[in-house]
Structure 1
């Protein structure tokens, strides 16, 4: 599929966006019924049915009066309430098993576009197999996964490994007919991402739903800051902790196929911000899962001119951060080594890294520039908080 399609606007741009969108089967929640429009009014509303709810076994602990410390960092007590994601130990175990297992069946459906498959592995587990329209999509997904590790937020992404398709033997021998029927190129590199059961969709929290109207009308987005969190319950605050990481991550990778795609669709659908967010789901324990990151880095950097007008305002809409995330960004800014550290991590943890290659020099420079921009934004938020 030629990339110039993505440089178009209107219907063609929407078509391009859909070609890159993968979605999982999940239970759908009813759309939001919120009718308030202003940012501050929404922040002080009691919890609505579309927001995460407390219940048996879920977030119910009373948090300290202030969810923010130091003006811009989520409190440690609040961060402790964030549901765990994929632990490093669990991820390493799954990746080791997935690389050693044989693929015993390939099924259509459940993993996005028609070229993808749901694989059943010989150890009994399942994985989404993604075959990119272009190899840079698989490269972007793999690099995004390891960048999340560099930033300390990899637990929010399903474990992901690369595999080389070989219908003649090895891992793919038992499904050679299915592989041939899929029209995958022999020797193509695909990604295997751990399948996650019982995911539900996620609607953007109130602040971004409210700001959708402002974005559509051309008014400047207002930052989610410490002074505007009163009235929110523990579950809402815990979700915002995860969203602050997500928006920062999507800015760094220039991922246009998540919340940005919803903002883009406002020109056709004024209610889109009250609908499910693309490639973002909630696990049964309430934790967010950042799925399908193939639009990030390589492909996203190619299309910065089209999508940064959405990604940059989204980043500016966040002025509260996980301190650990801010520290990672600060270190990468001061050491000027974002690309080299990503390359080191990628080669260390992915045996097939050399088959897809790495970022070009220009892309590596873009990554460092975006790290620097995020660091500058965090300092700006800190200065504003100190002036209050």
Structure 2
């Protein structure tokens, strides 16, 4: 009887201890804080991951009320939304480049200033010069092998404005080379230069402390046919740092821009050189530099539009694969392309802006009718490509 009483007492004590331990464990679960909503602290995205966490029962009770908040945090942290558009928070990290008001101020000053000195070097081809202006600023003066190239520089700048990323290009103004007037102080050097009296040249704002830019993936490792080795898509962005993502946002605009203008004197030139230099994609990209704030600067665009369109048969074998290698876009760029496609007014809008903002626009003329059609066709093709990328992204989401 004593042994039976002892056994019942022990059982009762064990039961009370178990109840006390259970109460303590439940209390600890109730006190556990929720996951912080800070950027990047995304909740588990799979049921398997949820199963591995301690405090599983308590977290399950919070799933219903926390699901939408968790989705919001995950969406905010993702570099891409809708499968094909850079997220707004990521776009906000892109350096501002040349803001519109600042560019307009420089253009007004440059057009009113006199050229006080010309220096050789630093501005590309041998006929070009680095000009020092009377307001203290400097500009690259591009003479061009022919007027078509100077026109290409100016029109490319204004097309970038229509597309919504003009801040990536240094401001460009046209100037007429005349010894009397703004060029009087450099008349002696002009007489010893290959420049023709009365020629129209472009003045592009000089930018200090630029550094070279090497193409990132997927363009650094080209395919055997000389085209890009992969596609810039949402799935290719995993594991990239913020600075890498910010640069890719700018590259996506650059690839579209160079396709629309048929510019062969940038990444296309590097791809062309692969036939004798297999390491060229690991070297600096032509006419592309990085400003001290990390922003990309799209320099020297004189090969675009008229000049590039004349040579499509030579260079589109590189430009078209480059376009297909991009499947993530700035939503603003895609919207501008969509509007120019829908209204079918790419050339007429470019002409309107060019005439309104460049006093010497009439001096160099405009695109021919055939070139205007080519611009619209390329706008249309870019729009169709963006739709194709959207369809692929939707199909991929449906498969999951």
Superposition TM-score, scaled by structure 1 size: 0.82
CA offsets per residue over residues 128-155 of structure 1, 9 Å max, x none? 0010111100011110010000101100
- Please provide the CA RMSD for this pair: 1.3
For 2:108 and 2:295, how far apart are their aligned partners in 1?
A: 24
- Cross-structure match for 1:176: 187
Which structure 2 residue ranges, 5 or more long, are not aligned?
1-73
**What SS does the corresponding residue of 1:318 show, helix, strand or coil?**
coil
Structure 2 residue corresponding to 1:112, chosen from 116, 124, 146: 124
- Cross-structure match for 1:319: 327
Greater RCO, 1 or 2 (C-alpha within 8 Å, sep 6+):
1
For 1:66 and 1:193, how far apart are their aligned partners in 2?
A: 37
Whether contact under 8 Å (1:63, 1:78) holds in the other structure is no
1:251 aligns with 2:259: yes
For 1:236 and 1:222, how far apart are their aligned partners in 2?
A: 17
Larger Rg, first or second structure (1 or 2): 2
- Cross-structure match for 2:312: 304
- Quote the offset at 1:112 in angstroms: 1.1
- Cross-structure match for 2:101: 89
Runs of 4+ residues deviating >4 angstroms: none
For 2:229 and 2:347, how far apart are their aligned partners in 1?
A: 30
- Cross-structure match for 1:68: 80
- Quote the offset at 1:221 in angstroms: 4.8
- Cross-structure match for 1:40: none
Whether contact under 8 Å (1:221, 1:316) holds in the other structure is no
CA offsets per residue over residues 73-111 of structure 1, 9 Å max, x none? 000000000011100000000000000000000011111
- Quote the offset at 1:224 in angstroms: 1.2
Whether contact under 8 Å (2:169, 2:298) holds in the other structure is yes
1:384 aligns with 2:392: yes
- Cross-structure match for 1:203: 214
- Cross-structure match for 2:273: 265
- Cross-structure match for 2:375: 367
**What SS does the corresponding residue of 2:289 show, helix, strand or coil?**
strand
Whether contact under 8 Å (2:110, 2:133) holds in the other structure is yes
Superposition TM-score, scaled by structure 2 size: 0.79
**What SS does the corresponding residue of 1:209 show, helix, strand or coil?**
coil
For 2:285 and 2:224, how far apart are their aligned partners in 1?
A: 18
For 2:77 and 2:350, how far apart are their aligned partners in 1?
A: 38
Which structure 1 residue ranges, 5 or more long, are not aligned?
1-61
Whether contact under 8 Å (2:75, 2:81) holds in the other structure is no
For 1:194 and 1:213, how far apart are their aligned partners in 2?
A: 36
1:289 aligns with 2:297: yes
